[in-house]
Amino acid sequence: MLLGVIADDFTGASDVANTLAKGVAPQGGLRTAQFLGVPTTAAPVEIEAGVVALKSRTIPVQEALAQSLAALNWLLAQGCRQIVFKYCSTFDSTRAGNIGPVAEALAAELKVKGVVVCPAFPGAGRTVYMAHLFVHDRLLSESGMQNHPLTPMTDPDVRRWLGHQSRSPVGHVALDTVRKGTDDLAIALSEIGDTLVVVDAISDEDLQTIGRAVADHKLVTGGSGVAMGLPGNFIRRGLASGEAGRLIGADGPEAILAGSCSGATRRQIDLHKQDHPTMAIEVDQVMSGETTAEDVVKFVARHHGNAPLAYSSSAPENVEAMQAKYGREEIAAKLDALFADAARKLVRAGVRRLVVAGGETSGAVVSALDLGALTIGQEIDPGVPVLLSSGETPIALALKSGNFGAADFFAKALERLQAR
């Protein structure tokens, strides 16, 4: 294995795995596998990039550190020459969040400084300019992320937000230095004494420049976009084949589970419900035990072949009201448990194509299914690939971050998950 990734949630892991498998034309990408949690056995020898998917974004800091360092040690044991710490392109964390502590711990373990911090993903509208994170034409704090139920992002200044989480000062490399080219950027990073350095990027070309500049860096951090230029470094050196993501899928019944409350997911739900059966999962009924995983399974079974969708998504004002009534952590735990149990029962009942929306929901689902390593296939929408489990009865999955995907994502994803 040449390159190893530590991802702080499951949808983010799929996102960066997609980036590495796709690569940049005409060079292509790396043979990539996604692992659900830290594996206990060695990776297949043909794998060039391995992505370890953790559910560490919102857990206590010490637990996130322990899991991330365990993932690092496994990846290094597989021979990885470079490590990427992948977090969301909207920098999902609180002021006391895990991104800073994990990045610093990885840097200390690898004994490196000048570590790039770049959550930019222009293909999904995320750009970094003067260390401020934008979502399309809005500052992060005005994009809707300020209403996130678990990680409300109220400050778009990545350098300042990261400073709250870090023990040492955070550096910055501005866009004009990036635009001077690979050599100038590499020199700028080598001359910075700070452990973590926010680097501006507003285009895919900027990300490719960053990728070339960090070819010899042991550690890089960011959204999936920062990995865009990394496969080419190994391919140019003759260390990798340049094989792209393959057309893969599975045959069988389908289901869609959505636990994200993002604006993008709510729009996708609104469009999908116009022509497909949907089931709204109400928080009050979940908390009282009136709605259970068995209800979701029965709903899906009644609508096989019609792309049934079960969702708990709601508008920000409704989310706030429910959190005030029951507590944020209590609701999250109940919903995660319901979706996990539903997914387990659905697969046992024969579902073979499964679309999941929301990072926390995806983490709960794949942890419950215990699918092992996942093969990375073709891209559905930017940042979301087809995933296929191994074994006699493979499961085809799409794990979508809440903010990702076009309005017609759900129906399109189920179509792409079919065997080809």
CATH superfamily of 254-370+393-416: Four-carbon acid sugar kinase, nucleotide binding domain (3.40.980.20)
pLDDT for the residue 245: 58
pLDDT for the residue 27: 84
pLDDT for the residue 23: 87
Residues 52-109: tens digit of each pLDDT: 999 999 899 999 999 999 999 999 999 999 999 999 988 989 888 999 999 999 999 9
pLDDT for the residue 144: 86
Query: What distance in Å separates the CA atoms of residue 356 and residue 265, rounded to the nearest whole number?
Result: 11
Return the exposure string of 21-31: e unless at least 16 CB atoms fall within 10 Å of the residue's CB, then b.
Answer: bbbbeebbbbb
Class of domain 3-236: alpha beta
pLDDT for the residue 391: 75
Residues 175-203: tens digit of each pLDDT: 999 999 999 999 999 999 999 999 999 99
Tokens for 96, please give them: 């006391």
Domain boundaries, the chain: 3-236, 254-370+393-416
- For 18, 137, 207, 227, 351, the CA distances from 117, given in Å and listed in that order, are 20, 21, 12, 12, 39
Total length of the chain: 420
The tens place of each residue's pLDDT in the chain, 420 residues long, gives 999 999 999 888 988 999 999 888 788 899 999 998 999 999 989 899 999 999 999 899 999 999 999 999 999 999 999 999 999 988 989 888 999 999 999 999 999 999 999 999 998 899 999 999 999 999 999 988 888 878 888 899 999 999 999 999 999 999 999 999 999 999 999 999 999 999 999 999 999 999 999 999 999 999 999 999 999 999 999 999 886 557 889 999 999 999 998 899 999 999 999 999 999 999 999 999 999 999 999 999 999 999 999 999 888 888 889 999 999 889 999 999 999 999 999 999 999 999 999 988 998 998 899 887 898 888 899 889 899 998 788 999 999 988 889 999 999 999 999 987
Are the C-beta atoms of residues 420 and 252 closer than 8 Å to each other? no
Q: What letter represents residue 336's amino acid?
A: D
Q: How many C-beta atoms lie closer than 10 Å to residue 363's C-beta?
A: 29
Three-class secondary structure assignment of the chain: CCEEEEECCHHHHHHHHHHHHHCECCCECCCEEEEECCCCCCCCCCCCEEEEECCCCCCCHHHHHHHHHHHHHHHHHCCCCEEEEECCCCCCCCCCCCHHHHHHHHHHHHCCCCEEEECCEHHHCEEEECCEEEECCEEHHHCCHHHCCCCCCCCCEHHHHHHHHCCCCEEEECHHHHHCCHHHHHHHHHHCCCCEEEECECCHHHHHHHHHHCCCCCEEEECHHHHCCHHHHHHHCCCCCCCCCECCCCCCCEEEEECCCCHHHHHHHHHHCCCCCEEECCHHHHHHCCCCHHHHHHHHHHCCCCCCEEECCCCHHHHHHHHHHHCHHHHHHHHHHHHHHHHHHHHHCCCCEEEEECHHHHHHHHHHHCCCCEEEEEEEECCEEEEEECCCCCCEEEEECCCCCCCCHHHHHHHHCCCC
Q: What letter represents residue 348's amino acid?
A: R
Please state, for a pLDDT cut of 90, what percent of the chain lies above it.
Answer: 77
Query: What distance in Å separates the CA atoms of residue 258 and residue 279, rounded to the nearest whole number?
Result: 10
Q: How many C-beta atoms lie closer than 10 Å to residue 171's C-beta?
A: 23
Query: What distance in Å separates the CA atoms of residue 12 and residue 376, rounded to the nearest whole number?
Result: 13
Are the C-beta atoms of residues 200 and 126 closer than 8 Å to each other? no
Q: How many C-beta atoms lie closer than 10 Å to residue 204's C-beta?
A: 16
